[in-house]
């Protein structure tokens, strides 16, 4: 018996992948999360192939497909959030060295069950699943006894990456299959008509299934903490708290986590305490810090305590991508980091004011970058190897390196692109497109023109800027971006 029997008769390929995710949840968590994401990929590909209501985005990778507005509208917020969580867990399993826990795999399996329930309920042509169908963790095979030898050893990250490459090579490419609906063969056209009819019939009744949205939201906090380096499988840990009435001025709060034991009261208390601690970290971030300043809007948002009361999928993404790696002034005693901040700021000032000490400051930064190149074993350094190497080897690249750290002043960016907005009858889509460029420059300092043909720009216009602006205006847009880059390199 399986939690995924609901899709077995009509989606046998999905059932095979989902069964692997379920079967390994207690024995090989990393591989289980991989197969959960694999099932999601196959399901989403099926949806785009068979549901004519879905518009294929500019790129056909999983993230672009589930974020496409027609998909989000079709799936609804609850199912979209689950799809995103499955994707993130799968990506962590394949592309991160972080430990993947059994609870992660069980969560991915549970969320996949809800996604498959929605798929069967919405598109099933033979039978609809019962509204009261629930995920049953007892159906997941138990791990072998400690003394037993596992017949299938856990897969390594390298093995999963190789498997991912092999599967992608054999998968049908949506971007090739669906370039135009008119080119679809007769069989697929007939299937689409049948799916559309089933979908219409199935959705006439309201969906009363319990998608356990609160569990999904709670787990996003756990995943955020994991990405920030917290180990949630231990029972006791200490969190430093400043302002305590003792001689050191720093107290400690001992929290006890029972995530493995399933104590909902303790889980809620733990999450509240950890969310409060993370809020303190964000609230203490210095908005004048050159690293923090480009991401000011996210820091200001999460510096408000009420933003932590309810974290949805978008909040999780913003925290993990825009806030998690920023420095905080809370208990900030890292003198070396402060000295580096000062060095970068002085170098930035020397560039802006053409000061004679720029050459000496540049050499100091290049020396630091060269030293960092030798520390690739540190994950934070390895993630930025390319830009560090550029700063170390190319003097003309130093300006871009600094600009990428400090961003571009927002008013400067707005002024550079004002010609596309001021005094024109710009449409809402044109205004949004230009605003995205300004936001990108504010955060990153420079922008390659090729970015205009990728998400999030293609979320507004799948064909790129040419579908919104006249050719001469697009040429001018590219020229402005090139000019901003050239100034950074000067």
Q: What percent of the chain has pLDDT over 70?
A: 67
User: Would you state the pLDDT for residue 375?
Assistant: 62
pLDDT over 80 at 290, yes or no? no
Q: Quote the pTM value.
A: 0.50
Q: What is the pLDDT of residue 335?
A: 55
72: tokens are 């989000």
pLDDT of residue 22: 95
Task: Identify whether the C-beta of residue 372 lies closer than 8 Å to the C-beta of residue 381.
Answer: yes
Task: Tell whether the model's pLDDT for residue 359 goes beyond 80.
Answer: no
User: Which pLDDT score is estimated for 427?
Assistant: 78
Higher-pLDDT residue of 258, 31: 31
Contacts of 120 (CB under 8 A, 6+ apart): 6, 7, 10, 11, 128, 129
Would you state the pLDDT for residue 283? 86
User: pLDDT grade, residue 157 (50/70/90)?
Assistant: confident
User: Which comes out higher in pLDDT, residue 114 or 459?
Assistant: 114
Task: Write the CB contacts of 480 (distance below 8 Å, at least 6 apart in sequence).
Answer: 416, 417
Q: What pLDDT shows up at residue 189?
A: 74
Torsion sign over Cα 304, 309, 311, 312: negative
Give me the mean pLDDT over the 376-391 stretch. Answer: 59
Average confidence score pLDDT of the chain = 75
Higher pLDDT pick, 64 / 379 = 64
Range with top average pLDDT, 121-135, 160-174, 314-328, 366-380:
121-135
Tell me the mean pLDDT in the region 45-56.
88
pLDDT at residue 446 is higher than 70: yes
Highest mean pLDDT among 14-28, 121-135, 330-344, 375-389: 14-28
Given a cut of 70, whether residue 471 has pLDDT beyond it is yes
pLDDT tens-digit readout, 162-194: 888 888 877 766 655 555 444 556 666 777 788
- CA 445 – CA 438 distance, rounded (Å): 10
The CA-based angle 319-322-328, given to 5 degrees, is 85
Lowest pLDDT segment from 238-242, 247-251, 440-444:
247-251
Give the residue-averaged pLDDT of 376-395: 57
What's the pLDDT at 372? Answer: 63
Share of the chain above pLDDT 90, in %: 15
Tokens representing residue 334 in the block: 């890292």
Is 341 exposed, middle or buried, given 0-12, 13-18 or 19+ CB atoms closer than 10 A?
Answer: middle
What is the arithmetic mean of pLDDT over 221-243? 50
Q: What is the pLDDT of residues 65-106, one digit of tens each?
A: 888 888 988 998 889 989 988 998 998 888 877 788 888 899
Q: How high is the pLDDT of residue 363?
A: 72
Phi/psi at 254 (5° precision): -95, 115
Average pLDDT over residues 345-353: 64
If you average pLDDT over residues 408-432, what whole number do you get?
76
> 4 or 294, which is more confident?
4
Q: Taking a C-beta distance cutoff of 8 angstroms, is the pair 444, 294 a contact? A: yes
> Is pLDDT larger for residue 447 or for residue 346?
447
Three-state SS at 242: strand
240 within 8 A of 252, measured Cβ to Cβ? yes
Q: Which residue has the higher pLDDT, 125 or 330?
A: 125
Q: In the prediction, which pLDDT does 203 show?
A: 81
Q: Contact at 8 Å (CB) between 79 and 97?
A: no
Confidence of residue 25 (pLDDT cuts 50, 70, 90): very high
**pLDDT of 133 higher than 80:** yes
Look at residue 184 in the predicted model and tell me its pLDDT.
55
Lowest mean pLDDT among 97-106, 153-162, 216-225: 216-225
pLDDT confidence tier of residue 244, bands split at 50, 70 and 90:
very low
Residue-wise DSSP of 340-373:
HHHHHHHHHHHHHHT-TTHHHHHHHHHHHHHHHH
pLDDT at site 182? 45
- Is the pLDDT reported for residue 7 higher than 80? yes
Residue 304 pLDDT > 70: yes
Whether the CB-CB separation of 68 and 16 falls below 8 Å is answered with no
Please report which confidence band the pLDDT of residue 457 belongs to, taking 50, 70 and 90 as the band edges: confident
> Where does the pLDDT of residue 448 fall: very low under 50, low under 70, confident under 90, or very high at 90 and above?
confident
* Poorest-pLDDT segment among 52-66, 156-170, 298-312: 52-66
């Amino acid at each position: 018996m399986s939690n995924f029997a609901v899709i077995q008769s009509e989606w046998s390929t999905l059932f095979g992948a989902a069964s692997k995710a379920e079967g390994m949840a207690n024995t090989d968590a990393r591989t289980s999360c991989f197969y959960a994401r694999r099932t999601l990929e196959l399901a989403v590909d099926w949806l785009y192939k068979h549901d004519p209501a879905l518009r294929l985005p500019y790129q056909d990778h999983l993230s672009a497909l589930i974020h496409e507005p027609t998909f989000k509208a079709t799936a609804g917020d609850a199912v979209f959030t689950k799809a995103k969580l499955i994707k993130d867990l799968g990506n962590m399993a394949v592309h991160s060295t972080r430990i993947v826990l059994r609870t992660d795999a069980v969560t991915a399996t549970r969320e996949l069950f809800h996604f498959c329930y929605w798929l069967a309920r919405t598109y099933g042509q033979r039978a609809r699943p019962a509204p009261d169908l629930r995920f049953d963790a007892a159906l997941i095979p138990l791990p072998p006894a400690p003394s037993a030898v596992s017949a299938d050893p856990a897969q390594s990250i390298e093995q999963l990456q190789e498997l991912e490459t092999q599967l992608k090579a054999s998968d049908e490419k949506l971007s090739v299959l669906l370039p135009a609906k008119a080119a679809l063969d007769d069989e697929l056209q007939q299937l689409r008509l049948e799916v559309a009819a089933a979908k219409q019939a199935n959705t006439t009744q309201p969906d009363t299934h319990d998608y356990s949205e609160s569990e999904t939201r709670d787990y996003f906090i756990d995943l955020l903490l994991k990405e920030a380096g917290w180990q949630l499988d231990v029972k006791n840990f200490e969190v430093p708290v400043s302002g305590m009435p003792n001689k050191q001025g720093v107290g400690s709060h001992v929290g006890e986590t029972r995530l493995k034991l399933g104590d909902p009261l303790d889980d809620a208390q733990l999450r509240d305490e950890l969310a409060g601690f993370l809020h303190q970290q964000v609230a203490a971030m210095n908005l004048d810090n050159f690293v923090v300043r480009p991401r000011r809007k996210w820091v200001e948002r999460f510096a408000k305590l009420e933003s932590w009361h309810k974290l949805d999928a978008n909040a999780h993404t913003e925290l993990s991508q825009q806030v998690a790696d920023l420095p905080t002034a809370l208990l900030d005693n890292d003198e070396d980091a402060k000295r580096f901040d000062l060095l970068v700021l002085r170098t930035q000032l020397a560039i802006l004011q053409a000061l004679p000490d720029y050459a000496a400051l540049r050499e100091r930064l290049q020396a630091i970058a060269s030293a960092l190149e030798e520390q690739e074993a540190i994950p934070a350094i390895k993630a930025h190897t390319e830009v560090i190497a550029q700063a170390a080897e190319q003097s003309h690249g130093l300006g871009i390196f600094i600009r990428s750290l400090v961003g571009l002043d927002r008013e400067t960016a707005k002024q550079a692109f004002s010609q596309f907005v001021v005094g024109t009858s710009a449409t809402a889509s044109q205004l949004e497109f230009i605003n995205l460029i300004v936001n990108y420059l504010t955060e990153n300092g420079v922008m390659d023109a090729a970015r205009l043909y990728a998400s999030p720009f293609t979320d507004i216009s799948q064909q790129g800027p040419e579908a919104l602006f006249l050719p001469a205006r697009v040429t001018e847009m590219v020229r402005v971006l090139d000019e901003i880059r050239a100034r950074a390199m000067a």
